[in-house]
């Protein structure tokens, strides 16, 4: 952990920790369905649609905290997904990290203990997830309704007070005026 993570990095790590907790409990019960659905929901929903949209400019600019956060999630995701998709996870993890996720013999530890499940900071950030995703969706829909491309500026939208700690990133992400 490079320390001094941005709020959006802390948020996605908090969400990922909750996902991994569900996955861990499911694997312990040999509940393949719940484990894979949790990974699918996170890996095809929250991560790409919200987090990657928030941090793509930081990633393009070489931000080490955003890169560390993304890599930590991908690495641990590959380990958790290995039981159902070993060839895919082996290839991806071997290509990215020169170490196969298939060779991992323990479930990944929490990436950032400060936002782990049950911590005040982690629980606070997870409680904002629905509102954050709703705000993003509403903003994208408003741009579509107004015929504005997603990367164009938009005015007249207010970030909910509950999301005040995300104001800078949401303003940049949506190009709010």
Residues 156 and 80 reside in one and the same domain:
no
CA atoms within 13 A on the CB side of 144: 6
Residue 119: which CATH number?
1.10.730.10
**138-168 tens-digit pLDDT:** 999 999 999 999 999 999 999 999 999 999 9
Residues 25 and 71 reside in one and the same domain:
yes
For residue 1, being part of any structural domain is answered with no
Domain of 165, in residue numbers: 130-174
Residue-level pLDDT at 2: 83
Residue-level pLDDT at 1: 78
Residues 112 and 55 reside in one and the same domain:
yes
Residues 56 and 134 reside in one and the same domain:
no
For 136, residues 6+ apart whose C-beta sits below 8 A from its C-beta are 49, 50, 53, 170, 173, 174
For residue 2, being part of any structural domain is answered with no
Whole-prediction pTM? 0.93
Task: Count up the domains in the chain and report the number.
Answer: 2
Residues 70 and 97 reside in one and the same domain:
yes
CA pair distance 37, 151, nearest whole angstrom: 31
For residue 73, being part of any structural domain is answered with yes
Run means of pLDDT, 10 residues per run, the chain, 177 residues: 91 98 97 97 96 96 96 96 94 93 91 94 97 97 95 94 97 95
For residue 143, being part of any structural domain is answered with yes
Residue-level pLDDT at 105: 86
């Amino acid at each position: 952990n490079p320390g001094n993570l941005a709020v959006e990095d802390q948020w996605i790590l908090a969400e990922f920790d909750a996902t991994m907790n569900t996955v861990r409990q499911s694997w312990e019960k040999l509940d393949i369905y719940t484990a894979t659905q949790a990974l699918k929901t996170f890996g095809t929903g929250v991560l790409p649609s919200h987090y990657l949209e928030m941090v793509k400019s930081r990633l393009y600019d070489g931000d080490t905290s955003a890169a560390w956060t993304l890599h930590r999630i991908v690495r641990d995701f590959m380990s958790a997904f290995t039981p159902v998709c070993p060839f895919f996870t082996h290839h991806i993890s071997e290509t990215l990290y020169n170490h196969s996720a298939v060779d991992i013999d323990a479930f990944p530890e929490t990436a950032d203990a400060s936002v782990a499940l049950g911590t005040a900071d982690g629980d606070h950030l997870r409680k904002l997830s629905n509102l954050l995703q709703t705000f993003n969706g509403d903003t994208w829909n408003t741009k579509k309704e107004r015929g504005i491309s997603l990367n164009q500026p938009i005015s007249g939208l207010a970030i909910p007070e509950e999301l005040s700690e995300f104001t800078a990133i949401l303003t940049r992400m949506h190009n709010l005026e």
